[in-house]
């Protein structure tokens, strides 16, 4: 298709910003094509792009590795897709202070490699860590299986820089753990899905890297027993780093995975103690997860790179409700893959094509005080009915809209993609 006048104007605008339009990228099936794809290398580049929003009427949609693009609705207006992967430098790192400052396009795996020689790390365990960028992790507040022990990204973030409406560059927080200066912009941007501005740099607390870090698997007699045992272990004083239960792992049946970190003697004590609890319940003895098994457990907590899904959901409920809710879902849709994190009340449900289990059925299995977010919805689902991708409308929606209007009055950043059409 021949470029239109607007296409030419926007390409010229991008070049005037010192950037070059990039090639096509893979997008969710229900997205329209971007006006252009750009890959800035600095906050100044992003600020220049933001200045064009009012002139040309486009929006800016940030993306890092693209692992969470299917979360939420498609952009509500023409947009530039802003790839943050060009901002991929570690800016400052003082091991003695246990604080690191990175551009937002640095991947989690890249940062862990920088920290490892100093026996430090970022205590996050996420799928596709070689593609997941720090800016994306902060913007989605994606925590992973270690959240019960170490907290979510919002707990590790002590400062950030971002570009907001009109190309304004702001900084919040600082480079020290105890900082009470000004409004807490870090908490505001964390989990905002890029709707208030584009994060360009993050300041993170590091932790000590333990001597050993192992993932142990206990094959369970059935999924219900794995869920009940996982919640029981969570309540015990075993000081595990995290755990999850899956109804199927490599077609080998249900498993309970426990993440243990520390010195060898401590891990051995934990393993033996958990064996004493689980073996009488019919579990097989503990075995160390292979690299493939450990990766697969995490990957089924994301819809990314799965082409045969009908839909994918992330449920947030009370930890005490996890066993009953997950069991109900598994009994109704036996072909789905379900992964549960008992300690934080999270369920991840991947329903394959051909299943007769629709998103509105899931709402019946989730307690009223819980919420369901649909991270992927296939075309067959939308042909059957309407899906609220972010779950029930919450009382705080009015506050969300007011913040969006105040901080992004031109609706320039990720429009229409977040809760309640924000």
Task: State the Rg of the chain over Cα.
Answer: 22
Do 148 and 344 meet the contact criterion of CB atoms below 8 Å apart?
A: yes
Q: Give the tens place of pLDDT for each residue, 127-141.
A: 999 999 999 999 999
* Of 65, 61, 74, 73, the residue nearest 35 (C-alpha): 61
Q: Which two tokens stand for residue 372?
A: 């369901």
Longest dimension (CA), the chain: 72
Q: Give the tens place of pLDDT for each residue, 273-301.
A: 999 999 999 999 999 999 999 999 999 99
pTM attached to this predicted model: 0.94
Residue 51 has pLDDT above 80, yes or no: yes
CATH number at residue 345: 3.30.70
Tell me which of 49, 70, 85 is where a domain ends: 85
| Total count of domains within the chain | 4
**Distance, first Cα to last Cα, the chain:** 32
Confidence of residue 180 (pLDDT cuts 50, 70, 90): low
Higher pLDDT, residue 193 or 383: 193
Cβ-based neighbours of 243, under 8 Å, separated by 6 or more = 145, 230, 233, 234, 256, 257, 258, 259, 341, 342, 343
Residue 315 has pLDDT above 80, yes or no: yes
Q: Which residues pair with 246 in a beta bridge?
A: 255, 339
Domain match, 270 and 307 both: no
Cβ-based neighbours of 301, under 8 Å, separated by 6 or more = 127, 144, 145, 244, 339, 348
Mean pLDDT for the stretch of residues 300-319? 92
Residue 117 has pLDDT above 90, yes or no: yes
Q: Which two tokens stand for residue 279?
A: 């073996």
| CB count in 10 Å sphere of residue 358 | 17
Q: Give the tens place of pLDDT for each residue, 93-103.
A: 999 999 999 99
Q: Which two tokens stand for residue 153?
A: 């990204």
DSSP 355: -
- What single string gives the DSSP state of each residue in 62-81? EESSSTTTTSSPPPSS-EEE
> 3-state class of 54 per DSSP?
helix
Domain match, 392 and 366 both: yes
Cα 401 from chain centroid (whole Å): 22
User: What percent of the chain has pLDDT above 90?
Assistant: 72
Query: Using CA of residue 398, residue 403, residue 406, residue 408, what is the dihedral sign?
Result: negative
Do 298 and 259 meet the contact criterion of CB atoms below 8 Å apart?
A: no
Residue 177 has pLDDT above 70, yes or no: no
* Confidence (pLDDT) at 191: 94
Q: Give the tens place of pLDDT for each residue, 219-243.
A: 999 999 999 999 999 988 888 999 9
Domain presence at residue 169:
yes
> 3-state class of 351 per DSSP?
strand
Domain match, 121 and 204 both: yes
Mean pLDDT for the stretch of residues 358-377? 86
Residue 7 has pLDDT above 80, yes or no: no
Residue numbers of the domain that contains 47: 5-85
* Residue-averaged pLDDT of the chain: 91
Domain presence at residue 245:
no
Domain match, 306 and 269 both: no
| CB count in 10 Å sphere of residue 399 | 10
Q: Give the tens place of pLDDT for each residue, 328-344.
A: 888 878 789 999 999 99
Domain match, 68 and 122 both: no
Mean pLDDT for the stretch of residues 104-127? 97
Mean pLDDT for the stretch of residues 106-117? 98
* Confidence (pLDDT) at 238: 87
Residue 1 has pLDDT above 50, yes or no: no
């Amino acid at each position: 298709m021949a470029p239109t006048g607007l296409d030419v104007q926007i390409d010229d605008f991008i070049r005037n910003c010192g950037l070059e339009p990039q090639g096509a990228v893979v997008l969710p099936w229900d997205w329209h094509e971007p006006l252009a794809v750009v890959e800035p290398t600095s906050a100044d580049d992003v600020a220049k792009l933001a200045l064009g929003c009012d002139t040309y009427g486009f929006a800016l949609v940030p993306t890092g590795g693209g692992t969470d693009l299917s979360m939420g609705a498609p952009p509500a207006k023409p947009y530039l897709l802003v790839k943050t992967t060009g901002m991929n430098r570690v800016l400052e790192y003082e091991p003695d202070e246990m604080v690191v400052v990175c551009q937002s396009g640095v991947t989690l795996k890249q940062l862990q490699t920088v920290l490892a020689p100093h026996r430090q790390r970022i205590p996050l365990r996420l799928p596709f860590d070689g593609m997941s960028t720090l800016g994306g992790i902060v913007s989605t507040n994606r925590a992973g299986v270690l959240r019960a022990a170490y907290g979510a990204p919002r707990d590790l973030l002590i400062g950030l820089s971002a570009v907001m409406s009109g190309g304004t560059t702001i900084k919040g927080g600082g480079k020290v753990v105890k900082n009470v200066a000004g409004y807490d912009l870090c908490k505001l941007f964390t989990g905002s899905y890029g709707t208030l501005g584009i994060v360009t740099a993050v300041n993170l607390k590091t932790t000590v890297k333990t001597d050993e870090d192992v993932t142990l698997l206990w094959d369970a007699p059935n999924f219900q027993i794995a869920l009940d045992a996982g919640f029981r272990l969570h309540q015990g004083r075993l000081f595990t780093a995290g755990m999850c239960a899956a109804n199927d792992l490599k077609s080998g049946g249900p498993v309970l995975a426990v993440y243990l970190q520390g010195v060898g003697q401590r891990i051995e004590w934990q393993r033996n103690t958990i064996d004493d609890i689980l073996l009488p319940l019919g579990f097989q003895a503990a075995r160390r997860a292979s690299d493939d098994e450990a990766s697969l457990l995490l990957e089924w907590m994301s819809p990314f790179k799965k082409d045969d899904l009908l839909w994918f959901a992330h449920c947030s409920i009370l930890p005490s409700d996890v066993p009953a809710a997950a069991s109900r879902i598994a009994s109704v849709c036996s072909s789905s893959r379900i992964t549960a994190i008992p300690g934080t009340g999270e369920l991840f449900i991947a329903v394959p094509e051909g299943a007769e289990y629709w998103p509105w059925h899931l709402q019946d299995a989730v307690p009223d005080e819980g919420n369901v977010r649909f991270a992927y919805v296939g075309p067959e689902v939308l042909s059957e009915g309407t899906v609220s991708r972010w779950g029930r409308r919450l009382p705080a929606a009015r506050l969300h809209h007011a913040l969006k209007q105040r901080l992004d009055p031109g609706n320039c950043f990720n429009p229409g993609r977040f809760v309640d059409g924000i």
